[in-house]
Structure formats: structure tokens, C-alpha cells
Amino acid sequence: MQANTLAIDFGTSNTAVGFIHNGAPVLLDIEPDSPTLPTSIFFDYDSRETLVGTPANEALIEGEYGRFMRALKSVLGTSIMHEPRRLMDEQINFIEIISRFLREIKARAEAASGLTFTTALSGRPVHFHSDDPTKDAQALTDLRACYLAAGFSDVEFMLEPEAAALANHSHLATGTIGLIVDIGGGTSDFTAFEAVETGIQILASHGVRVGGTDFDRKLSIDHIMPLLGKGSQIRKAFGSETMTAPNAIFHNLATWQKIPFMYTGDIRRDANDLRKYAAEPALLKRLTDTLENELGHDLAFATERGKIEANKADATIDLSVLEPRLTAPLSQAALGESLAALTAKIKTAAAETLAQASLTPAQINSLIFVGGSSLMSTVEATLQSQFPTAKPHRTSAFTAVIEGLTLATR
């Protein structure tokens, strides 16, 4: 790795950077007193500014006039990456949108360090798209293009769970066989490894496209969208027959990366037609109000907050941004039930990782949880029952990937 390489953990939900200074890894504050920032971007139509990180989130919360985007990493490899979008009187695509975010990260890192970074070492999931090899390969091509457009002359990639394994090497006794459980915003990645005297020996890495944003989406579909009319009956224009409201509009409104595209005239007209013939028009009014006032991300953030609260105790999702005193109960039991199918996919991927490494669950000495979504109670309980003799480690859940990437730039 050449000098002045910037390590970048470009995550679905959060981003962090680091570099080597005097032989030691340094994580840079790219927001005031914080080594991480939300992977969010806001195009402010009034000021004509492009905001990233916490200011982008705040602009959304404060109701500024503009377009908010999050979970940018999730669109890599998809057809919409290269489709032009009109934003602030410009026709730009997601290559340019993501490169603007990365360009700002590069500028902040250079300002904080006093260095010029020409090369990036970027983390990447084992699979961007675990069920489509063509999209998976295209996602890496897209991400490389974003880094080059952001001003880096070169970019190299390292699997995120392998970076996390490298970061944990110094905490483990030689001979320890560990499993990284890296569950981020968009993917669940696993690396089975052995700690050896010279570092780590990678035994197998595997992943599945399931992450925290999928948790949010499922919780929204199960507990929020029924309050907007999902599952309700719509009368046909002629006769007395009814049909169930189409799922697509609710599923898209519950999906972080699709929310920015839900405010078109056609979609609003479709929602108004549903409301017109709804057996329960008050529910569909919430849908039309959400679209008219562009509250999709507000509901998504409310769902995310409810998820975090329900992880510890029974909670209530506050939806007063949509309607005064509107709430959705979310118990720990309901949380587990909603996430059961996704947790099962994570469990299967962990088992497949061990199979690739020719290991049994009893051989795993250390179970290392990485990424905020790995700390969900339903995930922890499932994985710990799957590996009952493994000692759990959670101390570096939010920094292991960037620490390992930074160490790898030496």
C-alpha cells in the first residue's frame, strides 16, 4: 500500500476514515468530535448547497426544502445508478451523487490531517448482491467509478469482515478460531479466521444481502404501513366488490433507497385514487398526506428509532410527524416476530461460512459482533445459540472495520 492512503469505511448507514501516522493508525474526526458521520446527503433547493452527514439529517428533520437521500450504497449495481435525475437544475446520476459524498469525505480528511490522499482503501461487503452475480460485479465497478470521480487516482478494496478480523487480532490468543458477524445497514458478512503469531489466517468469508435497512423496511411494512392503508379494502369503481390495496406503493415507501422517488405526480395520483374508493378513507388520507408532504424519510427514521428502543424494552413508535398523537406499539416480541425470517437468513449465511471453512460450530472460540445491527437482541440470541461455546465480543462493534482498514494501509 502506498503512502498517503486513506482508509474509508463507506457504509450504508455511517461512514468513517483513517490513516497511518508515524506507524500508528489514526481515525479522523470528519464531523465535530466524531470519527463517524451518517451516510446521508441533502440537496438544499433554497441555498443550492449539498449537505452531507448530520447537517443532511437535520435539514430533513427541520423540514428544509430539498431532496434527502440515505442508504446510497444499496443502489450500487442496480439499473438506477446510471439513470439521470434532475436535482437543483442539474441532470445527475447516482455515480455523481455518491462521488460528491466521497469528495466531501476526502476534503474533510485532508483538512483534518494536513495531507493529500491520492489512494483510497475502501471496505466492501463480501457480496453487494448475494443472489445476482452480474449485479454483484457491477456494484464493485460502480463503486470504483465513484471513488475515481471523487478525485482519487486509485482505489483498492478489502472485505469488511476481514478488516474487522484484522482489527481484533491483538485481542485474541494465538490459535483462537473466530467468526466475525458483521451486520451493517445493507449486508450481513461473515469471516471465519484463526489468530496466528503473524496476524490472522482467513479461513472463509461469506455474506448475504440482509442488513439494518431491511430490518427497518420489515418493521415499517408490518407496523407502520397498515396505519396508512396497507391491507385495507378498496372499492371497485363499478359494483360492490372490493380488492386489497396494492402492496407496491407501501413496500416502496418503506424502503430507504426508494423513498426519494415516491413523490412523483403519477404516484400521488394513484394514492389519491385509492383514497377516493377506500373503505377506510382515513387510513388512505395518511398515505396521501405522507406523499404530499414528503414525509417518507420521517417515518423511516421514526421506525428506526422504534427498532432501537424495542431492542431493550417494549416501545412505541412516535408518528406524530404525520398526525398528532399517532403511535404504533412495538413490543420486543413483535420485533422478534417481524425480524424472524431475516434473522433466519443470517443464521443460514453463518452456517454456510463455517461449511466453506470446514469448521463445526463447536470449533468457534470467539464470536465477534460488528456493526450496529449485529447488536439487535434477536440476532445476538440466534447467533449465540448457534455457537453456544463461543465467547461473544462486542467492544469494537462500531469501529472494527475502519480500524482494520487503517491497519491494512501500512
pLDDT at 134 (0 to 100): 97
Domain boundaries, the chain: 5-160+404-408, 172-211+339-395, 212-336
> Which residues on neighbouring strands pair with residue 199, listed in sequence order?
196
Is the Cβ–Cβ distance between 377 and 307 less than 8 Å?
no
Task: Among 3.40.640.10, 3.30.1360.70, 3.30.420.40, 3.90.190.10, name the CATH number for the domain at 172-211+339-395.
Answer: 3.30.420.40
**Dihedral sign from CA coordinates of 136, 137, 142, 146:** positive
Interhelix angle 281-292/296-310, nearest 10 degrees: 110
Q: Which amino acid is at 195?
A: A
Helices (H) and strands (E) in the chain, counts: 12, 20
Cell 422478534 belongs to residue: 336
Q: Which fold has domain 5-160+404-408?
A: Nucleotidyltransferase; domain 5 (3.30.420)
Phi, psi torsion values for 17, nearest 5 degrees: -135, 160
**C-alpha angle 136-38-116 in degrees, rounded to nearest 5:** 80
Query: Residue 383 in contact with residue 181, Cβ under 8 Å?
Result: yes
Q: At what angle do helices 54-61 and 296-310 cross, to 10 degrees?
A: 110
Note the pTM of the prediction, 2 decimals.
0.93
According to the model, what pLDDT value does residue 152 have? 97
Single-letter amino acid code for the residue at 230: K
Do domains 5-160+404-408 and 172-211+339-395 share one topology? The answer is yes
Q: What is the pLDDT of residue 3?
A: 59
CB 370 within 8 A of CB 397: yes
pLDDT at 203: 98
| In 184-312, alpha helices (H) | 212-219, 248-253, 265-276, 281-292, 296-310
Q: How remote is the C-alpha of 309 from its chain's centroid? A: 18
Q: Are 138 and 105 in contact (CB under 8 A)?
A: no
* Residue 164: all three cell numbers together: 474487522
Secondary structure (3-state) at 296: helix
Backbone angles phi, psi at 20, to 5 degrees: -95, 125
Distance CA 362, CA 367 (A): 11
In a structure prediction context, what are the per-residue pLDDT tens digits for the chain, which is 410 residues long?
555 899 999 999 999 999 999 888 999 999 998 989 999 999 999 999 999 999 999 999 899 999 999 999 999 999 999 999 888 888 999 999 999 999 999 999 999 999 999 999 999 999 999 999 999 999 999 999 999 999 999 999 999 999 999 999 888 999 999 999 999 999 999 999 999 998 999 999 999 999 999 999 999 999 999 999 999 999 987 667 899 999 999 999 999 999 999 999 999 999 999 999 999 999 999 999 999 999 999 999 999 999 999 999 999 999 999 999 999 999 999 999 999 999 999 999 999 999 999 999 999 999 999 999 999 999 999 999 999 999 999 988 889 999 999 999 98
Residue 44 pairs in a beta bridge with: 66
Long-range pairs of 169-172 with CB within 8 A, sequence gap ≥ 24: 169/195, 169/199, 169/200, 171/393, 172/366
Q: Taking the CA atoms of 72, 75, 80 and 81 in sequence, report the sign of the dihedral they define.
A: positive
